[in-house]
Structure 1
């Protein structure tokens, strides 16, 4: 019995009690069940009596007693105890609890997926590094977390478009192009330009595409260099993201999508029609103070140049026009000031900021002992982190903590092949379960015998089996909560709990028999449970963008 099935059973008992006149209350759409902190209190618990008793005009314990009487006779429920002021502690019989192992194996990669966010259409923008240099440690956290958030949202039924905003307009692109052009001619980078060997490397890329560019005047060469260096740098960014296991559905060019297309002028006109734009001092302003911003914002300067804020407004409207009612922005720690102004844009556009826009702020991450990039000169490149620590170690470690907590990674720990290293601990549990399955099959243990399903859930009676099954059962709800709160670290921490329960079970319950012992359905059923654990660990690691090795 899964937690969802138990929830449905409780709802059915509530409805029956209402029809029988024992309770007078509206039956909620969902009844929450949770794992008790103390296993002696049963497999699952619910506080539904505490929630509904007042509305029913009853004492919570009396309400709980009515519900417990009906639930106790439900198929698969071994016992129901009313505890404290009205909690229901529920213990399942072995067969009902153990049946989950087969459900998980048969579900395979889709186990844990749910429809909690079905119907939600989300645009999620993250990373969005300027195309003027390589990805570095400042982009690493949102690359890992953003991708994992997108994965848990999709696993919960949301339709998610991952988007990378390319900031390829503005003066920084001219500075970038002039830096590459200078190095092409062996000159020093202009003051305020971009340093580093990567600028020289980009110059080589430009020469490969345009061998005669050095024969041109600087004025003639600059647009060629700008475009070719930009293309080469974006290739490098995309290749680095791919090596990190991160992919985007859309790469949105600020230059093409907002400036060249006239979207900024259109956005100003549309916001004016909404009644929130005014002119003052020769500039065009958006009255964002009407919606919680600390001051009104300039859209177009007195010289006719649009501001970055005008681009932000046009970009928001672009997302809206492209059919995304929900927009998630993942911004760095230095972007707290953007929260109110972006929400004000949504309000000025006629949307409800509480529904249409969500802004997540991530804190900085550092790595002890990390060296500055030889190629970039003044940053720690993501490429170097991947080469040094490995994609899995970096991604898992970043996904393991809430985004709003400052984080320092310990490279010595992440390189250890021991249980102290969380990613190794979880991956080893998966590899151990796959090894156990191989050994069992070699010993003659199989899930099916002569076409007969050898699974007997009632045989999974050892306490460690009940513990492991309960954690496997909780996995779908963990995924749902991770999606609801945009917190993939919930998945990581749960996988560690599953791994601990698996190791304990493995040490107590043999799958393959010893020596000449007879193979029984106990062995075969335990193989189902072993493989169910493998599946949950693999599914969870996939949501974090981390591999599930067969061997370690």
Structure 2
């Protein structure tokens, strides 16, 4: 179960409680789930009960208890606990992270795309300022990835942005786009020259290099007769967590008109993958096994998510660097 799946599961529990008359509130458009804060338990947590307490006229822990009753038998959820003033804490079934890998390999570059904003009609205003135009174009792609009917309209919403030149003629398309999209819209654009250096200090290089390494591992695995197949759990919690968070990152970036959230997420994912890559293929006299096939499948999944995220930013993901 991914964070996006869990968010929908909790939202369905709220709707059920409202339909049954246990809660008298408006059903929110979405429910946020995140990593538990200090004092929390399990894999994920939600503060939805706290936000519904005042409009329902109930104590937050009472709201949490109502929702817990409707969540305890949800597929993929092992247990639900209430902590603090009314946080819901979720422990997922074993194999939840395994399912993330399988979902990525099944969905390919569309992993993280959803119908979360389906039915929403969003119009954005294009301007002649280069950074604003690029940001608007990228936000439209993010909104469409979440199912929104998103288009340009002279009377539409304008996204505030600190102006900066777009210089593909000097930097190439990839570095020019990263320079404008990686910082938050209200921050200064990045200096272009460091983005052309093929070194680990360059975050754009790390992200694209991580993708290239994932593809190289697949090629090397094929030469050893190892195909990617997720058959058993892999001990790579940081990488698996970031992969599972990807759908929520895309949804958040779309809602907040913030492509920088995708870029930051890709940096973290690339760093986690580059730390993991050395464990994938057999070393020395080690024989290929189901463990290597599973590790290779995780490497393929990481490369798939890196490529998909870069594509939404309009940046290429080369198979070789």
| TM-score class, shorter | 0.7 to 0.9
Which structure 1 residue ranges, 5 or more long, are not aligned?
128-138, 163-326, 329-355, 367-381, 448-453
TM-score (normalised: structure 1): 0.52
Check whether the contact 2:81–2:88 (CA below 8 A) recurs between aligned residues.
Answer: yes
CA RMSD across the alignment: 3.1
Q: Alpha-carbon deviation of 1:9?
A: 2.9
Check whether the contact 1:431–1:550 (CA below 8 A) recurs between aligned residues.
Answer: yes
What do the CA deviations read for 1:313-334 (whole angstroms, capped 9, x no partner)? xxxxxxxxxxxxxx36xxxxxx
Distance 1:523 1:405, change over 3 A: same
Check whether the contact 2:125–2:158 (CA below 8 A) recurs between aligned residues.
Answer: no
Query: Paired residue for 2:295, among 493, 515, 526?
Result: 526
Distance 2:94 2:270 in 1: 21
Question: Counterpart in 2 of 1:9?
Answer: 9
Bigger Rg, structure 1 or 2: 1
Query: Paired residue for 1:146, among 115, 136, 156?
Result: 136
Distance 1:14 1:362 in 2: 36
Check whether the contact 1:124–1:160 (CA below 8 A) recurs between aligned residues.
Answer: no
Which shows bigger deviation, 49-58 or 437-446?
Answer: 49-58
Q: Alpha-carbon deviation of 1:114?
A: 2.2
Check whether the contact 1:94–1:461 (CA below 8 A) recurs between aligned residues.
Answer: no
Distance 1:435 1:38 in 2: 40
TM-score (normalised: structure 2): 0.84
For residues 168-183 of structure 1, the aligned pairs below 5 Å read none
Q: Alpha-carbon deviation of 1:485?
A: 2.5
Query: Residue 61 in 1 paired to residue 61 in 2?
Result: yes
What do the CA deviations read for 1:494-530 (whole angstroms, capped 9, x no partner)? 11122122223335xx222334434333322222222
Question: Counterpart in 1 of 2:206?
Answer: 425
Greater share of residues in strand: 1
Distance 1:470 1:428 in 2: 20
Query: Residue 469 in 1 paired to residue 240 in 2?
Result: yes
Check whether the contact 2:14–2:27 (CA below 8 A) recurs between aligned residues.
Answer: no
Distance 1:114 1:420 in 2: 33
What do the CA deviations read for 1:458-501 (whole angstroms, capped 9, x no partner)? x3252x33x32232222222222222222211111111122122
Query: Paired residue for 1:436, among 217, 220, 223?
Result: 217
Secondary structure of 2:136's aligned partner: helix
- Aligned positions, number: 319
Q: Alpha-carbon deviation of 1:436?
A: 1.8
Question: Counterpart in 2 of 1:126?
Answer: 127
Secondary structure of 2:183's aligned partner: coil
Distance 1:439 1:424 in 2: 22
Question: Counterpart in 1 of 2:317?
Answer: 548
Q: Alpha-carbon deviation of 1:537?
A: 0.8
Which structure 2 residue ranges, 5 or more long, are not aligned?
none
Question: Counterpart in 2 of 1:337?
Answer: none
Question: Counterpart in 1 of 2:49?
Answer: 49
Q: Alpha-carbon deviation of 1:54?
A: 4.0
Q: Alpha-carbon deviation of 1:56?
A: 4.6
